[in-house]
Structure 1
Amino acid sequence: MRNEEMFERTAKPVLDVRDRPKLGQWAFLSTQHLFAMFGSTVLVPFLTGLPISAALLASGIGTLLYILITQAKIPAYLGSSFAFITPIISGLHSHSLGDMLIALFMSGLMYVIIGIAIKLSGTNWLMRLLPPVVVGPVIMVIGLSLAPTAVNMAMYENSSDMKGYNLSYLIVALVTLIVTVIVQGFFKGFLSLIPVLIGIITGYVVAAFMGIVNFSTIAHAKWLQLPDIYLPFKDYQPSFHLGLILVMVPIVFVTVSEHIGHQMVINKIVGKNFFKDPGLDKSIIGDGVSTMVASVIGGPPSTTYGENIGVLAITKIYSIYVIGGAAVIAIILGFVGKFTALISSIPTPVMGGVSILLFGIIASSGLRMLVESEIDFAQNRNLVIASVILVVGIGNLMLNLKPIGVNLQIEGMALAALAGIILNLILPKQST
C-alpha cells in the first residue's frame, strides 16, 4: 500500500503528460515555465562570465534532448546548475577556457556513466556512497562558499577586488533582496514561484532611476543576431586537464542526488513512477547529455529545476508539450540581441541582492536534508563527517601535488565531497 500511495496523484491534472494544449494557450503556458527558470538560469552565466545567450541555448536544447532521451514521459525543465559556479569561476581564473569546458564535458559524461551503472545494478550503491550525512553538508558548502560573491556584488563597484564601496549599490541590492523575500513569503499562486524574476525587475528599475544602469549596449545591439557562444577549435582549443576534471567530477555525485530528489517530487505530483518508466537511468543520462552539449557551446552545466516543478504542482498542467514550448522560446531568445544585451545590462548589485537569498537557500537546503533525514549528531561518526566537509569546503583547502611532480590540484568543494565520501566509507557505524 505504501508504494501505491507514493505515486498517487496529488490532484487530477488539467493536462496530463501527453496532452497537447490548445494553440491559444500553448505560448502562455510555456512562458510561465520560462519565467520560473529564467532568473536562476541567467544568474549562473552572469556570475561566471560565460555567455548568457549560450546559457539560454543550452537550457532550451538540453531540455529538448532530455525530453527525447526520456521518451517524452517526464515533464522536467533543465536550467543552469548553481553547484558548478565556484569551480567555474576559480577554474577560469587559473586555467584556459578549453581546460574548463572539457572538464565540464567530462562531468556530463560522468552523469551518463552513473546512469548506465544504475541501469545495470540499481541505486543501492549510489545511496551507500552518498547518504544524507555527506550530501547535506556538501550542499551547505555550495551555498556558503558563494556567500562572499553575493555580498561583494551588493557592496562594491569592483566586486572581484572588493574595491569601490558604493552605498547606492547596497541600497539597490537591499531593495532587490527585500522585494524578493516579500514575494517569496507573502505572494500566492504562480507569483510565489517567480520571486527572483520579480526581484530582478524591481531592482533593475530602482537601479535605472539611480543612474547605475548602462543602456548603451542595448541601444547598439541588433534585434536578431547569432548568439554569443564558444565553438571548439574556433573559439577555444579543447584541452584535457586532469586536476580540473577531478574538481568537477565529485560535484556530479551531489547534483545526481539532487536530481533523484527532484524526480521523487515529480513522481508524487504527476502520480507516475518515472523511476520505473522511462527509468531513473534515462533521466540521469538525459541530464548528462544536456550538460555535455552545454559545455561544447560554452554554457554552464544543467540540472532539473525545482522552480518548474513548483509550476507543475500549482497549475496541474503536466504536458510535455508545454515544457518543450518553454525550451523552444529559450532557444529563440538566445538569438534576440536586444534581449541578451538587456540581461547583460543588469547591474551587479541587483544580482548581488537576489544572490544573498538564493545562495542562502542552497545552504539551508543542505541543513534541511540533515534535519529531515534525522541525522543524529550525538554520534561522533556523523559529527566528524559533517565537520570535515564544512571546514574543508568553506575554508577552500587545497591538495596540490605539483611540488612532487604530479600535475594535480583539487580544492574546496570537490575536496570536501571526496573527503566526505571517504570518511563515510571507512568510519565504523555506531550501534544504536
Structure 2
Amino acid sequence: MSNAVLDIKDKPTGLQLVTLSFQHMFAMFGSTILVPQLVGLSPAIALLTSGIATLFFLLITKFQVPAYLGSSFAFIAPILLVAGGLNKDGTSVNPGHAMIGAMAVGLTYGIVALIIWKSGYKWIMKILPPIVVGPVIMVIGLGLSGTAVNMAMNVDGNYSFLHFSAALVTVFTAIIFTIAFKGILSTMPILMGLIVGYIYSMIIGIVDYTPIAAAKFFTTPDFLIPGVHYEFEITSKILLAMVPIVIVTISEHIGHQLVLGKVVERDYIKEPGLHRSLLGDGLGTFLSALIGGPPKTTYGENIGVLAITRVYSVYVIAGAAVVAIVLSFFGQAMAVIATIPTAVLGGVSILLFGIIAASGLRMLVDNRIDFGNSRNLVIASVILVIGIGGAKFVISESLSVEGMALAAIIGVLLNAILPGKEEAAIPVQENQHKNS
C-alpha cells in the first residue's frame, strides 16, 4: 500500500502545485547553477535546459518517473579540458567543443538504451561493478579538489584571507544545513550556503554589483547554437575526453532509479524500463547541449524532497521544470547569480566535491568490497592514481586520452581481464568467514 500524500499521477491543487514546484526548484537550484559557473557557461541556459530536459524525460518515461534533471558534476573536468579552460572574465575559452562532446554523450546514452531494450540490463551491471565505479567517482571529487581550494583562497593567484573567510562561512553554513537541519532545508545545503555566503560577502565588501545595474529585467539567455555561435567540428580529443565518463554517469543513473523506486514503491528498472529512463537522460543532455547547456543527470536532491514530502506527483516535477524555464528569462535574477564571488563558489565546491568523493567510498563500503583481495586492491589503486595524477595516453599530437576518462577505461579493462573475478565479488564479511 502506497504511503504517498500525492501519488505519481495525482493532480495537486493550484496552491499545492505552485508551492511544491518552487520547493523542487530550490532543491536543485544551487547545484544546477554551480556547474556552469565553474566551467564558464551561462547559468540562465543551465536553468532553461534543466527544465526542458526534465519535461522531455517525463515524456519519454511515460510520466511514470518523478525525476528532475539538473547539471552533472561528472563532466566538469572534461568540459574544462576540451574547452581549453577559462578566460580571465570566467567564461569558457571554447564552449562549442564542450557542447559537441555533450551531444556525443547524449547519443551514447541513446545507443546504450537501445542495446538494453533489445538485450536486457544485466550485462551493463557486469561491466560497471562497484569496484570500478566507486574509485572513478572518487576521482571526480578528488580531482577537482585543487580547483575548489584555489577558488576559495586565491584572487588573481594571490592568497586573500578576506575571500577565504567568505569561503569558510559558506562551507560551514552548508555543513550546518546538511547535518543540523531536518526536512526540506536539509536537502538544500548548497543553496543555503550560497545565500549565507553571499550575504557575508556583501557585508565584507567583496561583491561587485555592476552586472545587476546593467541587467535588463527580462532578457534572453545566451544560447550557443552549432553552426551559428561555433563551428561544428567533431574531434577525437572531444570524444575521448567526454564519452568515457558515461561509465560513471550511467552507473549513477541506475543507482538513482533504484533509490527512487524504493521511495515511490515501484520497480523502474522493469517499468517503464531502464532503457526509457536512460534514453530520457541522454535526450535531455543532447537537447541541453544543442542550445548551450551542460550535460544533465537525475538529481538526488529532488529524490530527497520526494522522500521527505511523500508527494510523488509528476505534475509537481513538471511544475518545477516550468518554473526553472521562466526564471531563466529574468535578467536581473541571473545577474545576481553572476555577482556571486568566486570564494563563495569555492566554499560550496569544497563540500560538494568532497561529498562526491565520499559517495564513491560509500559505494565500496555499501557493497562490502573486500580490499584484502589483491584484485580489488589493484583495480582501485590504479584507477585512483591515474585519475587524480592526471595520467595521459598520447596516441598522436591531436589524439590522447587522459585523467578521469583514462582511469575509467583502464578500470573497465582491468575488471574484464584480471583473473579471480568471482572471488573478488564476495563481500568482505563472507571472505573473512571463509578464510577463518
Scaled by the length of structure 1, the TM-score of the pair is 0.94
Cα drift, residue 99 of structure 1: 2.8
CA RMSD of superposed structures (Å) = 1.2
Q: Which runs of 5+ in 1 are unaligned?
A: 1-7
Taking the aligned partners of 2:27 and 2:415, their CA distance within structure 1 comes to: 36
Q: Equivalent residue for 1:3?
A: none
Q: Does 1:202 align with 2:200?
A: no
Q: Residue 137 of structure 2 aligns with which residue?
A: 139
Check the 8 A contact 2:83/2:96 in 1, yes or no.
Answer: no
Where 1:401 maps in the other structure, the secondary structure is strand
Report the Cα distance in structure 1 between the residues aligned to 2:206 and 2:323, rounded to whole angstroms: 29
TM-fit CA distance, 1:273: 1.5
Q: What does residue 69 of structure 1 align with?
A: 60
Counterpart residue number, 1:28 = 19
Percent of residue pairs bearing the same amino acid type: 54
SS in 1 for 2:84: helix
1:96 deviation in Å? 4.0
Runs of 4+ off more than 2 Å: 94-100
- 1:187-226 alignment, distance < 5 Å: 187-226=181-220
What are the equivalent positions in structure 2 for 1:241-390 lying under 5 Å apart? Answer: 241-390=235-384
Distance 1:71 1:339 in 2: 33
Pair 1:79 & 2:70 matched: yes
Amino acid at match of 1:113: I
Tell me if the contact between 2:143 and 2:387 (Cα under 8 Å) persists in the aligned partners: yes
1:329-376 deviations in Å (ceiling 9; x for gaps) = 111111110011111110011111111100000000000000111111
| In 1: Cα distance, 2:95 partner to 2:46 partner | 16
Q: Secondary structure at the match of 2:234?
A: coil
User: What does residue 400 of structure 1 align with?
Assistant: 394
| Residue among 19, 28, 40 paired with 1:37 | 28
CA–CA distance in structure 2, aligned partners of residues 203 and 243 of structure 1: 37
1:199 partner SS: helix
1:297 shift after superposition: 1.2
Shift of 1:97: 3.3
Paired residue secondary structure (2:393): strand
Partner residue in 2 for 1:186: 180
State the TM-score, normalized to the length of structure 2.
Answer: 0.94
Q: Are 1:121 and 2:119 matched, yes or no?
A: yes
1:66-122 C-alpha deviation (Å, 9 max, x unpaired): 001111110000000000001111211178433321111001111111111111111
The corresponding residue for 1:172 is 166
> Which of 388, 407, 411 is the aligned partner of 2:402?
411
Q: Secondary structure at the match of 2:224?
A: coil
What is the rounded CA distance, in whole Å, between the counterparts of 2:81 and 2:153 in structure 1?
21
Give aligned pairs, total: 416
How far does the alpha carbon of each residue in 1:26-46 deviate from its partner, in whole angstroms, 9 at most, with x for none?
111000000100010000000
AA matched with 2:57: Y
Contact 1:244 1:410 in 2 (8 A): no
**What stretches of structure 2 of length at least 5 have no aligned partner?**
86-92, 424-430, 432-436
- Give the Å deviation of 1:304: 0.3
The one-letter amino acid paired with 1:353 is G
1:99-110 pair list within 5 angstroms: 99-110=97-108
**Structure 1: distance between partners of 2:271 and 2:278:** 13
CA offsets per residue over residues 224-264 of structure 1, 9 Å max, x none? 11111211111111110112212211111211101111111
Counterpart among 11, 14, 18 of residue 9 in structure 2: 18
- What SS is found at the alignment partner of 2:33? helix
Structure 1 counterpart of 2:105, one-letter code: S
Q: Is the 8 A contact 2:82 2:241 kept in 1?
A: no
223-232 or 356-365, which deviates more: 223-232
Partner of 2:88: none
* 1:423 aligned residue (414, 428, 433): 414
Residues 397, 411 of structure 1: 8 Å contact kept: yes
Matched, 1:54 2:54: no
Secondary structure of the residue that 1:410 maps to in structure 2? Answer: strand
Task: Report the equivalent of 1:5.
Answer: none
Q: Deviations over 1:168-224 (max 9, x none)?
A: 011000011111101110001111111111111000000011111111111110111
In 2, the alpha carbon distance for the partners of 1:157 and 1:333 equals 30
Shift in Å at residue 277 of structure 1? Answer: 1.6
Pair 96,154 (structure 1): closer, same or farther in 2 beyond 3 Å: closer
Deviation at 1:292, TM superposition (A): 0.3
Q: Distance in 1 between matches of 2:134 and 2:252?
A: 10
